[in-house]
Amino acid sequence: MVQHLCALPTGSGRATLDRNGLRPSRYTVTKDNFLVMASESGVVDIKPENVEFRGRLQPGRIFVADLEQGRIISDEEVKDGIASAQPYQKWVEENLLSLKKLPDASNEFSQPSPEKLLHKQQAFGVSSEEVNEIIVPMAKDGKEPLSAMGADWPLAILSHQSQHLSNYFKQLFAQVTNPPIDPIRERMVMSLNTYLGKDQNLLSESPEHCQKVELESPVLSNSELEKLRAIDNEHLQAKTLDIVFQASEDEGKLERALKRICQYAEDAVIDGYSIILLTDRAINSNHAAIPAMLAVGAVHHHLIRKGLRAKCDIVVETGDARETHHFATLVGYGANAVNPYLVIETMVELQRTKKLIQKLTSLSCSRTTASLSTAVF
Protein backbone atom coordinates (compact mmCIF):
# COMPACT_ATOMS: atom_id res chain seq x y z
CA MET A 1 0.00 0.00 0.00
CA VAL A 2 2.41 2.65 -1.19
CA GLN A 3 2.09 5.65 -3.38
CA HIS A 4 3.06 5.41 -7.04
CA LEU A 5 4.87 8.26 -8.78
CA CYS A 6 5.94 8.29 -12.39
CA ALA A 7 7.02 10.69 -15.12
CA LEU A 8 5.53 10.12 -18.56
CA PRO A 9 6.98 11.00 -21.98
CA THR A 10 3.85 13.05 -22.69
CA GLY A 11 5.17 15.76 -20.42
CA SER A 12 3.33 15.01 -17.18
CA GLY A 13 4.06 13.55 -13.78
CA ARG A 14 1.44 11.44 -12.02
CA ALA A 15 1.01 10.04 -8.53
CA THR A 16 -1.68 8.13 -6.67
CA LEU A 17 -2.04 7.28 -2.99
CA ASP A 18 -3.26 4.05 -1.41
CA ARG A 19 -6.85 3.99 -0.24
CA ASN A 20 -5.94 4.31 3.45
CA GLY A 21 -3.40 7.07 3.13
CA LEU A 22 -0.96 5.00 5.14
CA ARG A 23 1.95 6.39 3.12
CA PRO A 24 1.71 10.19 3.19
CA SER A 25 2.61 12.33 0.19
CA ARG A 26 3.09 16.07 0.43
CA TYR A 27 4.02 18.56 -2.24
CA THR A 28 5.14 22.14 -2.58
CA VAL A 29 4.86 24.44 -5.60
CA THR A 30 7.31 27.33 -5.74
CA LYS A 31 6.98 30.72 -7.35
CA ASP A 32 9.82 29.91 -9.73
CA ASN A 33 7.84 26.94 -11.09
CA PHE A 34 9.32 24.02 -9.21
CA LEU A 35 7.25 21.12 -7.87
CA VAL A 36 8.64 19.12 -4.96
CA MET A 37 6.80 15.95 -3.82
CA ALA A 38 7.94 13.63 -1.04
CA SER A 39 6.59 11.61 1.86
CA GLU A 40 7.32 14.50 4.20
CA SER A 41 7.57 18.28 4.06
CA GLY A 42 11.02 19.81 4.31
CA VAL A 43 12.88 17.21 2.29
CA VAL A 44 14.19 20.06 0.14
CA ASP A 45 15.00 23.41 1.70
CA ILE A 46 12.74 26.05 0.17
CA LYS A 47 12.62 29.63 1.37
CA PRO A 48 9.17 30.48 2.74
CA GLU A 49 8.87 33.57 0.57
CA ASN A 50 9.33 31.38 -2.53
CA VAL A 51 6.42 29.04 -1.68
CA GLU A 52 3.40 29.48 -3.95
CA PHE A 53 1.31 26.87 -2.10
CA ARG A 54 1.53 23.53 -0.34
CA GLY A 55 -0.73 20.49 -0.43
CA ARG A 56 -1.00 16.79 0.21
CA LEU A 57 -2.21 13.86 -1.82
CA GLN A 58 -5.29 12.50 -0.05
CA PRO A 59 -6.19 8.80 0.29
CA GLY A 60 -7.40 7.28 -2.97
CA ARG A 61 -6.74 10.47 -4.92
CA ILE A 62 -4.75 11.06 -8.11
CA PHE A 63 -2.23 13.84 -8.64
CA VAL A 64 -1.28 14.97 -12.15
CA ALA A 65 1.21 17.72 -12.95
CA ASP A 66 0.90 18.64 -16.64
CA LEU A 67 4.24 20.16 -17.61
CA GLU A 68 3.04 21.23 -21.04
CA GLN A 69 0.06 23.17 -19.68
CA GLY A 70 2.01 24.25 -16.63
CA ARG A 71 -0.70 23.31 -14.13
CA ILE A 72 -1.78 20.70 -11.62
CA ILE A 73 -4.87 18.79 -12.76
CA SER A 74 -7.31 18.06 -9.95
CA ASP A 75 -8.44 14.56 -8.96
CA GLU A 76 -12.02 15.38 -9.98
CA GLU A 77 -11.00 16.57 -13.43
CA VAL A 78 -8.90 13.48 -14.07
CA LYS A 79 -11.63 11.06 -13.01
CA ASP A 80 -14.38 12.96 -14.85
CA GLY A 81 -12.33 12.73 -18.02
CA ILE A 82 -11.88 8.98 -17.60
CA ALA A 83 -15.53 8.37 -16.68
CA SER A 84 -16.84 10.28 -19.71
CA ALA A 85 -14.46 8.74 -22.25
CA GLN A 86 -16.99 6.03 -23.20
CA PRO A 87 -20.73 5.41 -22.55
CA TYR A 88 -19.89 2.96 -19.77
CA GLN A 89 -23.28 3.14 -18.05
CA LYS A 90 -25.09 2.28 -21.27
CA TRP A 91 -22.73 -0.63 -21.89
CA VAL A 92 -23.36 -2.00 -18.41
CA GLU A 93 -27.13 -1.61 -18.60
CA GLU A 94 -27.30 -3.38 -21.96
CA ASN A 95 -24.84 -6.22 -21.32
CA LEU A 96 -24.30 -6.97 -17.61
CA LEU A 97 -26.55 -9.60 -16.02
CA SER A 98 -27.25 -9.60 -12.30
CA LEU A 99 -27.62 -13.10 -10.86
CA LYS A 100 -29.86 -11.68 -8.15
CA LYS A 101 -32.39 -10.47 -10.73
CA LEU A 102 -32.52 -13.66 -12.78
CA PRO A 103 -35.59 -15.91 -12.36
CA ASP A 104 -35.32 -18.89 -10.05
CA ALA A 105 -34.36 -22.18 -11.64
CA SER A 106 -36.88 -25.00 -11.57
CA ASN A 107 -34.45 -27.86 -10.94
CA GLU A 108 -32.97 -27.03 -7.54
CA PHE A 109 -31.77 -29.99 -5.46
CA SER A 110 -33.93 -30.85 -2.47
CA GLN A 111 -32.68 -31.15 1.09
CA PRO A 112 -31.39 -34.74 1.61
CA SER A 113 -32.70 -36.96 4.37
CA PRO A 114 -30.62 -37.13 7.59
CA GLU A 115 -29.31 -40.56 6.56
CA LYS A 116 -28.20 -39.41 3.11
CA LEU A 117 -26.71 -36.25 4.59
CA LEU A 118 -24.67 -38.34 7.02
CA HIS A 119 -23.39 -40.50 4.16
CA LYS A 120 -22.31 -37.36 2.29
CA GLN A 121 -20.54 -36.00 5.37
CA GLN A 122 -18.71 -39.29 5.80
CA ALA A 123 -17.74 -39.37 2.13
CA PHE A 124 -16.14 -35.91 2.42
CA GLY A 125 -14.57 -36.57 5.80
CA VAL A 126 -16.67 -34.09 7.75
CA SER A 127 -16.25 -34.80 11.46
CA SER A 128 -18.65 -33.98 14.28
CA GLU A 129 -15.97 -31.68 15.67
CA GLU A 130 -15.97 -29.66 12.45
CA VAL A 131 -19.76 -29.43 12.55
CA ASN A 132 -19.90 -28.27 16.17
CA GLU A 133 -16.76 -26.12 16.32
CA ILE A 134 -16.69 -24.57 12.83
CA ILE A 135 -19.99 -24.85 10.95
CA VAL A 136 -22.31 -24.04 13.87
CA PRO A 137 -20.43 -20.86 14.93
CA MET A 138 -20.28 -19.65 11.32
CA ALA A 139 -24.02 -20.15 10.90
CA LYS A 140 -24.91 -18.53 14.23
CA ASP A 141 -22.53 -15.58 14.29
CA GLY A 142 -21.61 -15.02 10.66
CA LYS A 143 -17.90 -15.07 11.43
CA GLU A 144 -15.01 -17.48 11.59
CA PRO A 145 -14.74 -19.10 15.04
CA LEU A 146 -11.79 -18.00 17.16
CA SER A 147 -9.23 -20.47 18.43
CA ALA A 148 -5.76 -20.53 19.94
CA MET A 149 -3.21 -18.39 18.12
CA GLY A 150 -0.63 -21.15 17.85
CA ALA A 151 -0.87 -24.23 15.64
CA ASP A 152 0.90 -27.10 17.41
CA TRP A 153 -0.54 -30.05 15.51
CA PRO A 154 1.75 -32.12 13.25
CA LEU A 155 2.29 -31.05 9.66
CA ALA A 156 -0.11 -32.78 7.28
CA ILE A 157 2.75 -34.40 5.40
CA LEU A 158 3.92 -36.07 8.65
CA SER A 159 0.48 -37.19 9.77
CA HIS A 160 -0.63 -40.83 9.63
CA GLN A 161 -4.28 -39.73 9.32
CA SER A 162 -6.11 -38.85 6.13
CA GLN A 163 -5.82 -35.10 5.61
CA HIS A 164 -7.85 -32.53 3.71
CA LEU A 165 -5.78 -31.44 0.72
CA SER A 166 -5.77 -27.80 1.83
CA ASN A 167 -4.00 -28.81 5.06
CA TYR A 168 -0.82 -29.25 3.06
CA PHE A 169 -0.81 -25.49 2.41
CA LYS A 170 -0.20 -22.68 4.86
CA GLN A 171 -1.17 -19.03 4.88
CA LEU A 172 1.63 -16.47 4.68
CA PHE A 173 1.01 -12.90 5.75
CA ALA A 174 2.93 -9.71 6.42
CA GLN A 175 3.42 -9.30 10.16
CA VAL A 176 3.06 -5.52 10.23
CA THR A 177 0.79 -3.13 12.09
CA ASN A 178 -1.43 -2.07 9.20
CA PRO A 179 -5.14 -1.95 10.10
CA PRO A 180 -7.42 -4.80 9.02
CA ILE A 181 -8.55 -4.57 5.42
CA ASP A 182 -11.85 -6.21 4.57
CA PRO A 183 -15.13 -5.42 2.77
CA ILE A 184 -16.82 -4.56 6.08
CA ARG A 185 -14.48 -1.89 7.45
CA GLU A 186 -13.67 -0.62 3.98
CA ARG A 187 -16.93 -1.10 2.12
CA MET A 188 -16.46 2.28 0.42
CA VAL A 189 -13.50 0.95 -1.55
CA MET A 190 -13.85 -2.84 -1.39
CA SER A 191 -16.49 -5.25 -2.62
CA LEU A 192 -17.14 -8.98 -2.75
CA ASN A 193 -18.95 -8.61 -6.07
CA THR A 194 -17.65 -11.15 -8.56
CA TYR A 195 -18.07 -11.12 -12.34
CA LEU A 196 -18.16 -14.30 -14.39
CA GLY A 197 -17.71 -14.62 -18.11
CA LYS A 198 -15.20 -14.31 -20.91
CA ASP A 199 -12.47 -11.69 -20.45
CA GLN A 200 -11.73 -9.28 -23.27
CA ASN A 201 -8.54 -7.45 -24.21
CA LEU A 202 -7.43 -5.34 -21.24
CA LEU A 203 -5.93 -2.75 -23.58
CA SER A 204 -9.21 -1.94 -25.33
CA GLU A 205 -12.71 -0.84 -24.35
CA SER A 206 -15.95 -2.14 -25.83
CA PRO A 207 -19.50 -3.18 -24.87
CA GLU A 208 -18.33 -6.80 -25.04
CA HIS A 209 -16.25 -6.20 -21.90
CA CYS A 210 -19.54 -5.98 -19.96
CA GLN A 211 -20.97 -9.28 -21.16
CA LYS A 212 -20.73 -10.94 -17.76
CA VAL A 213 -22.92 -12.04 -14.89
CA GLU A 214 -22.55 -10.26 -11.55
CA LEU A 215 -22.50 -12.15 -8.23
CA GLU A 216 -22.85 -10.40 -4.88
CA SER A 217 -20.34 -12.81 -3.36
CA PRO A 218 -18.04 -15.59 -4.56
CA VAL A 219 -19.88 -17.91 -2.12
CA LEU A 220 -23.02 -19.14 -3.86
CA SER A 221 -26.17 -20.56 -2.35
CA ASN A 222 -27.73 -23.66 -3.90
CA SER A 223 -30.45 -21.61 -5.61
CA GLU A 224 -27.90 -19.11 -6.95
CA LEU A 225 -25.87 -21.94 -8.42
CA GLU A 226 -28.92 -23.33 -10.21
CA LYS A 227 -29.61 -19.87 -11.64
CA LEU A 228 -26.05 -19.80 -12.91
CA ARG A 229 -26.32 -23.30 -14.34
CA ALA A 230 -29.50 -22.32 -16.21
CA ILE A 231 -27.98 -19.26 -17.92
CA ASP A 232 -28.13 -19.75 -21.67
CA ASN A 233 -27.78 -16.76 -23.96
CA GLU A 234 -25.56 -15.72 -26.83
CA HIS A 235 -22.67 -14.66 -24.60
CA LEU A 236 -23.01 -16.66 -21.37
CA GLN A 237 -23.42 -20.41 -21.09
CA ALA A 238 -22.46 -22.79 -18.29
CA LYS A 239 -21.07 -26.28 -18.80
CA THR A 240 -21.28 -28.75 -15.91
CA LEU A 241 -18.47 -31.30 -15.50
CA ASP A 242 -18.43 -34.08 -12.90
CA ILE A 243 -15.24 -34.22 -10.82
CA VAL A 244 -15.53 -37.81 -9.64
CA PHE A 245 -13.60 -40.96 -10.47
CA GLN A 246 -14.33 -44.66 -10.24
CA ALA A 247 -13.19 -45.81 -6.82
CA SER A 248 -11.28 -49.05 -7.14
CA GLU A 249 -7.87 -50.49 -6.40
CA ASP A 250 -6.71 -50.07 -10.00
CA GLU A 251 -3.79 -47.68 -10.33
CA GLY A 252 -4.10 -44.51 -12.39
CA LYS A 253 -7.87 -44.04 -12.04
CA LEU A 254 -7.54 -40.59 -10.49
CA GLU A 255 -4.94 -39.40 -12.97
CA ARG A 256 -7.00 -40.53 -15.94
CA ALA A 257 -10.09 -38.87 -14.52
CA LEU A 258 -8.23 -35.57 -14.15
CA LYS A 259 -7.00 -35.75 -17.74
CA ARG A 260 -10.53 -36.47 -18.91
CA ILE A 261 -11.95 -33.49 -17.00
CA CYS A 262 -9.25 -31.19 -18.36
CA GLN A 263 -10.01 -32.30 -21.91
CA TYR A 264 -13.75 -31.84 -21.39
CA ALA A 265 -13.13 -28.33 -20.03
CA GLU A 266 -10.94 -27.47 -23.02
CA ASP A 267 -13.59 -28.74 -25.44
CA ALA A 268 -16.31 -26.77 -23.64
CA VAL A 269 -14.39 -23.48 -23.87
CA ILE A 270 -13.66 -24.09 -27.57
CA ASP A 271 -17.39 -24.69 -28.08
CA GLY A 272 -18.16 -21.27 -26.59
CA TYR A 273 -18.98 -22.01 -22.95
CA SER A 274 -17.78 -19.16 -20.74
CA ILE A 275 -18.54 -20.72 -17.34
CA ILE A 276 -17.10 -24.11 -16.37
CA LEU A 277 -19.01 -25.60 -13.43
CA LEU A 278 -17.12 -28.38 -11.65
CA THR A 279 -19.33 -30.51 -9.41
CA ASP A 280 -18.80 -33.51 -7.13
CA ARG A 281 -22.49 -34.18 -6.44
CA ALA A 282 -22.28 -37.39 -8.50
CA ILE A 283 -20.53 -39.35 -5.73
CA ASN A 284 -22.02 -42.76 -4.98
CA SER A 285 -20.93 -46.22 -3.86
CA ASN A 286 -18.81 -46.61 -7.00
CA HIS A 287 -17.52 -43.08 -7.55
CA ALA A 288 -15.48 -40.93 -5.17
CA ALA A 289 -15.01 -37.20 -5.35
CA ILE A 290 -11.77 -35.79 -6.68
CA PRO A 291 -10.51 -33.23 -4.13
CA ALA A 292 -11.96 -29.95 -5.32
CA MET A 293 -8.67 -28.09 -5.04
CA LEU A 294 -6.92 -30.72 -7.15
CA ALA A 295 -9.60 -30.59 -9.85
CA VAL A 296 -9.69 -26.79 -9.92
CA GLY A 297 -5.92 -26.51 -10.12
CA ALA A 298 -5.71 -29.11 -12.88
CA VAL A 299 -8.37 -27.44 -15.03
CA HIS A 300 -7.02 -23.94 -14.33
CA HIS A 301 -3.47 -24.74 -15.42
CA HIS A 302 -4.55 -26.91 -18.34
CA LEU A 303 -6.56 -24.01 -19.76
CA ILE A 304 -3.62 -21.67 -19.20
CA ARG A 305 -1.34 -23.98 -21.16
CA LYS A 306 -3.88 -24.09 -23.99
CA GLY A 307 -4.30 -20.29 -23.99
CA LEU A 308 -7.98 -20.57 -23.04
CA ARG A 309 -8.15 -19.54 -19.39
CA ALA A 310 -9.22 -15.94 -20.07
CA LYS A 311 -12.14 -17.20 -22.15
CA CYS A 312 -13.96 -18.73 -19.17
CA ASP A 313 -14.39 -18.67 -15.41
CA ILE A 314 -14.46 -21.65 -13.06
CA VAL A 315 -17.20 -22.28 -10.49
CA VAL A 316 -16.98 -25.17 -8.02
CA GLU A 317 -19.98 -27.02 -6.56
CA THR A 318 -18.42 -29.04 -3.78
CA GLY A 319 -18.92 -30.73 -0.46
CA ASP A 320 -15.19 -30.42 0.13
CA ALA A 321 -15.16 -26.78 1.36
CA ARG A 322 -16.33 -26.04 4.88
CA GLU A 323 -13.94 -23.60 6.52
CA THR A 324 -12.14 -20.39 5.62
CA HIS A 325 -8.87 -22.02 4.58
CA HIS A 326 -10.68 -24.38 2.21
CA PHE A 327 -12.27 -21.46 0.38
CA ALA A 328 -8.99 -19.54 0.32
CA THR A 329 -7.09 -22.41 -1.30
CA LEU A 330 -9.85 -23.00 -3.87
CA VAL A 331 -9.80 -19.35 -4.90
CA GLY A 332 -6.00 -19.36 -4.85
CA TYR A 333 -5.89 -22.33 -7.22
CA GLY A 334 -8.23 -20.82 -9.78
CA ALA A 335 -11.87 -20.93 -8.64
CA ASN A 336 -13.90 -17.78 -9.29
CA ALA A 337 -16.85 -18.82 -7.13
CA VAL A 338 -17.70 -21.68 -4.76
CA ASN A 339 -20.97 -23.37 -3.85
CA PRO A 340 -20.41 -25.32 -0.58
CA TYR A 341 -23.61 -27.29 -0.90
CA LEU A 342 -22.79 -29.80 1.84
CA VAL A 343 -22.19 -27.08 4.43
CA ILE A 344 -25.48 -25.41 3.46
CA GLU A 345 -27.35 -28.70 3.74
CA THR A 346 -25.68 -29.35 7.10
CA MET A 347 -26.76 -25.91 8.37
CA VAL A 348 -30.35 -26.53 7.30
CA GLU A 349 -30.34 -29.89 9.10
CA LEU A 350 -28.87 -28.27 12.23
CA GLN A 351 -31.73 -25.79 12.24
CA ARG A 352 -34.25 -28.59 11.81
CA THR A 353 -32.84 -30.39 14.83
CA LYS A 354 -32.92 -27.12 16.86
CA LYS A 355 -29.13 -26.84 17.09
CA LEU A 356 -29.32 -23.43 15.43
CA ILE A 357 -31.39 -20.66 16.94
CA GLN A 358 -32.19 -18.55 13.90
CA LYS A 359 -35.03 -19.60 11.65
CA LEU A 360 -34.01 -20.90 8.23
CA THR A 361 -36.90 -21.97 6.05
CA SER A 362 -36.62 -23.50 2.63
CA LEU A 363 -37.48 -20.07 1.23
CA SER A 364 -34.78 -18.26 3.20
CA CYS A 365 -31.85 -20.62 2.88
CA SER A 366 -29.98 -17.76 1.24
CA ARG A 367 -29.60 -16.38 4.78
CA THR A 368 -27.55 -19.47 5.57
CA THR A 369 -25.23 -18.74 2.69
CA ALA A 370 -25.11 -15.07 3.67
CA SER A 371 -23.88 -16.03 7.14
CA LEU A 372 -21.36 -18.40 5.60
CA SER A 373 -20.13 -15.81 3.12
CA THR A 374 -19.70 -13.24 5.90
CA ALA A 375 -17.78 -15.76 7.98
CA VAL A 376 -15.48 -16.77 5.14
CA PHE A 377 -14.75 -13.31 3.72
Tell me the residue type at 187: R
Region 217-242 average pLDDT: 93
Q: Which of 8-17, 126-135, 210-219, 247-256 has the lowest mean pLDDT?
A: 8-17
Region 324-331 average pLDDT: 92
Neighbours of 369 (CB within 10 A): 23
Give the pLDDT of residue 360.
45
Give the pLDDT of residue 2.
43
Query: DSSP code of 232?
Result: B
Give the pLDDT of residue 270.
97
Between 128 and 275, the more confident residue is 275
In this predicted structure, the answer to whether residue 209 has a pLDDT above a threshold of 80 is yes
Give the pLDDT of residue 43.
82
Q: Is 372 within 8 Å of 358 (Cβ atoms)?
A: no
Angstrom CA distances, 230 to 126, 225, 251, stand at 30, 9, 37
Region 264-285 average pLDDT: 96
**Residue among 317, 280, 287, 314 at smallest CA distance from 299:** 314
For 14-57, what is each residue's pLDDT tens digit? Answer: 777 666 666 778 888 889 888 888 887 778 888 989 998 888 88
Q: What angle do CA 149, 154, 157 make, to 5 degrees?
A: 125
Name every residue whose Cβ is closer than 8 Å to that of residue 99 and which is 6 or more positions away in sequence: 213, 214, 215, 216, 224, 227, 228
The rounded percent of the chain whose pLDDT value lies above 90 is 48
In this predicted structure, the answer to whether residue 329 has a pLDDT above a threshold of 80 is yes
For 147-187, what is each residue's pLDDT tens digit? Answer: 766 667 778 888 888 889 999 987 766 666 566 666 666 77
Q: What angle do CA 364, 369, 375 make, to 5 degrees?
A: 135
Query: DSSP code of 187?
Result: T
Give the pLDDT of residue 362.
42
Give the pLDDT of residue 87.
96
Q: Is 228 within 8 Å of 315 (Cβ atoms)?
A: yes
Q: Is 319 within 8 Å of 279 (Cβ atoms)?
A: no
Q: Is 298 within 8 Å of 258 (Cβ atoms)?
A: yes
Give the pLDDT of residue 363.
37
Give the pLDDT of residue 136.
87
In this predicted structure, the answer to whether residue 217 has a pLDDT above a threshold of 80 is yes
In this predicted structure, the answer to whether residue 280 has a pLDDT above a threshold of 90 is yes
The dihedrals phi and psi of 313, each to the nearest 5 degrees, come to: -125, 155
Query: DSSP code of 240?
Result: E
For 362-374, what is each residue's pLDDT tens digit? Answer: 434 555 666 667 7
The rounded percent of the chain whose pLDDT value lies above 70 is 82
Write down the mean pLDDT value for the chain: 85
In this predicted structure, the answer to whether residue 341 has a pLDDT above a threshold of 90 is yes
Give the pLDDT of residue 44.
86
**Residue among 302, 222, 317, 220 at smallest CA distance from 269:** 302
Give the pLDDT of residue 233.
87
pTM metric for this prediction: 0.84
Give the pLDDT of residue 239.
96
Q: Is 197 within 8 Å of 274 (Cβ atoms)?
A: yes
